[in-house]
Amino acid sequence: MWEINYFLTYHLPPTTYHLPPNNMSRIGKKIINIEPKTEVSLLDNVLTVKGPLGTLSRTFRSEVKIEISDGKISLSPKRKSLDILALWGTYASHIINMMSGVHKAFEKKLIVEGIGYKSDVKGEDLVMSLGFSHPVKMKIDKGLKVTAEKNIITVSGIDKEQVGQFVAKIRDTKKPEPYKGKGIRYEDEVVRRKEGKKSV
């Protein structure tokens, strides 16, 4: 018997067997309440959320059923396999973020650290001096608001993923180095410092 259980557990791909019914997503099975002043519609697997700050749309796979009724959104997997259960919770998180974003913009901050390092917003571009022979210029994505005051860059927008991706792109232009900490880091990021070489 143990040989059969071992084969089912380790040799069959996840989509070829079904999981027990109690294997549920804690996030996915929760009912999502539609906030006041919010319109939610679903057409051809595209969910659209409209609120005071704007409109967000996202395409979802049909394997997860989305129902909108009486001011509530519920999700349920059409089959209980590992990949679909993973999507179930992920989709619920996406919808919750969309509902939050159209009411209150997501915001992330970066700290620019280093002598002579500075940043400024000029028109639709973020321009940074980061110790290179030339300034680093980045076009601000549509739908985002970027400000640069002193050594702090603030990025905000209604799309959580868009904000996170743009902030990551900014940080990648000059990642913080471990000796003096110079570079661009997240506001809550802790840079582990290394001890420099000691002269004899």
Query: Quick one: pLDDT at residue 198?
Result: 57
The CA angle 108-118-165, to the nearest 5 degrees, is 30
pTM: 0.79
- Written as six digits, the tokens of 80 are 């209980």
Which CATH number does 106-186 carry?
Answer: 3.90.930.12
Q: Please list, residue by residue across 23-47, b when 16 or more beta carbons sit within 10 angstroms of its beta carbon and e when fewer do.
A: eebeebeeebebeeebebeeeeeeb
The label of the residue with tokens 């028109």 reads 123
Reported as a single tens digit per residue, the pLDDT across 19-32 is 444 455 678 888 99
Reported as a single tens digit per residue, the pLDDT across 115-165 is 999 999 999 999 999 999 999 999 999 999 999 998 999 999 999 999 999
Looking at domain 19-101, its CATH superfamily turns out to be Ribosomal protein L6 (3.90.930.12)
Instruction: Judge if 19-101 and 106-186 fold alike in CATH terms.
Output: yes
The label of the residue with tokens 């319109």 reads 39
Query: Quick one: pLDDT at residue 181?
Result: 81
Mean pLDDT of the chain: 86
So where are the chain's domains?
19-101, 106-186
The label of the residue with tokens 């989509």 reads 15
DSSP H or E run through 76: strand 72-77
Query: Quick one: pLDDT at residue 18?
Result: 46
Closest CA to 138 of 103, 110, 105, 97: 110
